[in-house]
Structure 1
């Protein structure tokens, strides 16, 4: 008997999420994972590395609660936002019975996590302009326990209509959890939905330190929700989800000085993004540039393979979305340093 046959049937058939590192590539300019182009320095105290860490380190939770303007009992720290996605499915969905709902094209881990948990997936495609079709979502809630809405949406950059979101929260009350994935919200903080948590028990917001905080390597994320939701998730999360070094670094990043550094980084990257958007729109090899609200830009090329190959030849690794439905000839470019963006544009200008 092949060992694969011992695995669950769902896992045997599963196509794993293809992360940037898993796909790989060769080059000097990495703009395929929406990482920050710079690093900060942190101090690490190793005196307690022989001890298990706190379940939810108080200093870290207090720091993020203050940053998010929430109570400490409304915050849960996880291994990146990805762990939060799976925890929400495991906490609220009965395998083989309930469904999640996603709005493609969107972040791929929602569906992968559901499949690994034996939970079905309903799809309500985004509208032609890639906004959420809230009316269709509201009409598709039968059997759905968790709805995932990504804002800024990865990879299209679209945000949410607040009034439509409020209507959906009302309609799904006591029926489904509405999750707003705000991995990139620091790049447009005025559009966050976290202030609605006090009003809606079925609203969950997921966050991460991987993007604007430039801490992708430490895998630190947060779930924001009313305490009743957080307490249910605490029943499911493993006993030591936040390693001590992660807690120390993340707490420093959330200090007054750390937040100032993050905001300066965001300001720089947003300015660079606007320059990149303008420059891409001037290239004859580019057909369309999508709205950009995070630290990435999605562009549709006349020939995405040609564009991808031109960048790769110049040592620039971008993220190819051309094989995804409705994203034909699309490539996503993370916003890096000015030098990285100049190199990217130079490579693409060779196609004009």
Structure 2
């Protein structure tokens, strides 16, 4: 007997999310996962590991609540933002419900829905990578959760705030709207957190993986109304955060940790501006899309050639060629000044 035949039919048909690490590569310049290019330095302050951790570590919850400007009852901590995506689908979607998202965008919305056996509806972004609100309204029947990423991955731009507000208005009483703010630290004034009190069906996903430079920690957050948070607490694992993770997360969320993160963001935003300026001079570059995050989406005359040539040199970027409307596009994470220089030099030598 083949074990595969015992698995659920939707899992048999499922193509797993192609994460940067799953795709692999051999290199010394890793600019394919939107990670911070260098690691922060933390020492564990807690070394007692024989007891189970707190279900929702108080220091982490309170630290993030203070940072985000919300009450602690508006915060849930999870194993990265990805767990939050799946928790919301599991908590709110019946077997005959649907999840809606707008490609090109983060692939885990669809993968998580398919893993849970929930149908997916897609409404492509407009040509300028904004929400197509009339089409979303037309497809809302049967939709229980709508995912929107802002700044959007992989395009880098913000979704217009008035459009997000209109989406929230049209879904009131019908669906949960999830705004994924994984990259919001790079443009903090664009957050939707101040709308939580106005829209009880709004959930915001955050992470320590990007600006906090802690992708290896796997620590994310959901910000929402107390009622919505209470529903998610029913389905989350009993001990989602290991003790070392909550220890380091609490340190990162202390005042000094926040200040360090903000300095890091300022430096990276400046590096992004320089990288964009230098890429724009290259003849192989057709277009660089406006970005409010720690990466640039670049359209080349022959994106496949550029991606493969740099891959062969150990410069690992993220190929977006097969994503909707992104033919010949490559996403480049902003690295160190030296890494950015190597990218530009390698592309210039292909001209």
Quickly name the TM-score band, shorter chain normalised: over 0.9
Partner of 1:311: 310
Q: What does the per-residue CA deviation read over 1:106-141, in whole Å, with 9 as the maximum and x for residues that have no partner?
A: 000000000010100011000011111123212321
Q: What does the per-residue CA deviation read over 1:159-209, in whole Å, with 9 as the maximum and x for residues that have no partner?
A: 122222222212211110010000000000011111100111011100000
Whole-angstrom distance in 2 between the partners of 1:280 and 1:47:
47
Counterpart of 1:56 in 2: which secondary structure? coil
Partner of 2:13: 13
Q: How many residues align?
A: 351
Whole-angstrom distance in 1 between the partners of 2:297 and 2:281:
15
Partner of 1:258: 257
More deviation, 151-160/12-21:
151-160
**2:54 matches 1:51:** no
Partner of 1:80: 80
Q: Write out the 4+ residue segments of structure 1 that deviate beyond 6 Å after TM superposition.
A: none
Whole-angstrom distance in 1 between the partners of 2:138 and 2:206:
27
RMSD of the alignment, in Å?
0.9
Q: How far did residue 158 of structure 1 move?
A: 2.1
Partner of 1:143: 142
Q: How far did residue 326 of structure 1 move?
A: 1.2
CA separation of 1:287 and 1:3: change in aligned 2, threshold 3 A: same
Whole-angstrom distance in 1 between the partners of 2:200 and 2:46:
39
Tell me if structure 1 keeps the 8 A contact 2:269–2:294: yes
Whole-angstrom distance in 1 between the partners of 2:149 and 2:20:
19
Tell me if structure 2 keeps the 8 A contact 1:134–1:165: no
Whole-angstrom distance in 2 between the partners of 1:124 and 1:225:
25
Q: What does the per-residue CA deviation read over 1:234-259, in whole Å, with 9 as the maximum and x for residues that have no partner?
A: 00001001111100100100111111
Q: Any residues of structure 2 matched to 1:120-131 within 5 Å, and which?
A: 120-131=119-130
Counterpart of 1:233 in 2: which secondary structure? helix
Partner of 1:209: 208
Whole-angstrom distance in 1 between the partners of 2:326 and 2:297:
9
Partner of 2:319: 320
Partner of 2:198: 199
Q: Any residues of structure 2 matched to 1:1-352 within 5 Å, and which?
A: 1-95=1-95, 97-352=96-351
**Residue segments in structure 2 that go unaligned for 5+ positions in a row:** none
Q: How far did residue 320 of structure 1 move?
A: 0.6
Counterpart of 1:41 in 2: which secondary structure? coil
Whole-angstrom distance in 2 between the partners of 1:48 and 1:141:
49
Whole-angstrom distance in 2 between the partners of 1:310 and 1:119:
39
Whole-angstrom distance in 2 between the partners of 1:253 and 1:72:
17
Whole-angstrom distance in 1 between the partners of 2:44 and 2:68:
25
**Residue segments in structure 1 that go unaligned for 5+ positions in a row:** none
Tell me if structure 1 keeps the 8 A contact 2:131–2:163: no
Q: How far did residue 46 of structure 1 move?
A: 4.4
Whole-angstrom distance in 2 between the partners of 1:286 and 1:99:
39
Tell me if structure 1 keeps the 8 A contact 2:46–2:247: no
Counterpart of 2:265 in 1: which secondary structure? helix
